[in-house]
Chains A and B, each alone.
Chain A
């Protein structure tokens, strides 16, 4: 075996290099990632998901939700909008100046220039940091790109790479538990054009006893079970719904800044 040593060294170098790139590099970069504080606040982010949601992640994984859903929001760039907060002692002059300036879609240096001009005229301004991108412009999808912290407590992380269904990074902001459960049982009952398969095995059909179960789903006609029966979610379904509701990456962080003034009230469609 004259070439044995050479083969060994060749294999060692090849595997060693991929180990450096795939293991050591990421660990050096993100291995010490921990909780951080929300921007301009002392709140800790992210908090551990509730127990049911942690179990729900395993249901999410077991049912292959990540095959059709992503949990990562992309951001193409960031712009600044200058907002006038006070017109000062000479409002007509300031308003005239403001009308002649572009106040949106600026870079930071441009925004500084504009607010400098306005404050020289006596007005007060606030610069809003606004992330932009195709994902962010979709209502309810997210306010900023996903960052490593968002997945701190998830094992395994269910990023997904195909969007047959919508991104779920902020699905907890969009809907409530009732919606999630009804949607898992009969997707078409909540969104007509949904191509999602129904996950009926996460629910039990049972005869209504002396009193109806408080957990029973309220389903529209056409999806409701026969009279005298009710559909109740299993523990798995409840855990999965808890996980989905815990998906809300909506706070500004140092590495993903945005002006919190533009933050939504929290789910227009929530019910």
Chain B
């Protein structure tokens, strides 16, 4: 074996370090950029409150409905169906001989909402005259636990449903009534109701 052959065998040719084409790096960077933009647009930054189609909390904020009369009626309807409807009925007709109707009731439709506002707040024990009939039963202060906004919404709902078309009740009205009647005992029937200063 010649020296040359032996040397070639023992020292293999120097190997080039492996290379990757430049376009791979460019593509990776481009994909990272596209991914970043997509993430920025759609992730909502992993906020547990933000889902598609909103993308970001700012966009979600944009689509929060403002509270107008229509949504107030819907809010009132929600509270009415869970609290009031058991006795006064989904149709506002009450139960014959037990609970007076709200539909068409002169107390509900009155120009001033003061009276109908006080009943759910304080409760009513005793006789009340509604639509030509005397109703002698007792109502707990069912509305006392509601927020100002919810009670106002319920009152607005009953004053504007089933053919009633009386004025709207605002949160501030309920708040004022609550402040004025704080600590007042349950109302003793129609006489007690009329005894409260308007």
Contact = CB atoms under 8 A, between A and B. Distances in A.
Interface of A: 25, 28-30, 32-33, 38-43, 75-78, 80, 83, 85, 108, 126-129, 145, 147-148, 251-252, 254-261, 263, 266
Interface of B: 46, 48-54, 60, 62-71, 73-75, 77-79, 81, 146-147, 149-150, 153
Q: Which of B46, B53, B60, B71 has the most CB of A within 10 A?
A: B71
Contacts of A258: 65
A248 to B, nearest CB: 12
Contact of A43 (B50, B54, B79): B79
Contacts, number: 94
B73 A261 contact: yes
Contacts of A76: 53
A261 B79 CA distance: 14
A255 B153 CA distance: 22
Given A40-B67, A266-B81, A260 B49 contact: no
Contacts of A147: 51
B71 A42 contact: no
Q: Nearest 7 pairs between A and B by C-beta?
A: A261-B70, A260-B74, A42-B147, A126-B68, A255-B49, A259-B65, A129-B65
A187 B75 CA distance: 36
A40 B71 contact: yes
B70 A255 contact: no
Nearest to B50: A255
B149 A42 contact: yes
14 contacts: A40-B65, A40-B67, A40-B71, A41-B78, A43-B78, A75-B52, A78-B53, A108-B63, A126-B68, A127-B65, A259-B71, A260-B75, A261-B70, A261-B74
Contacts of B48: 29-30, 32-33, 148, 255
A29 B48 CA distance: 5
Contacts of A260: 65, 70-71, 74-75, 78
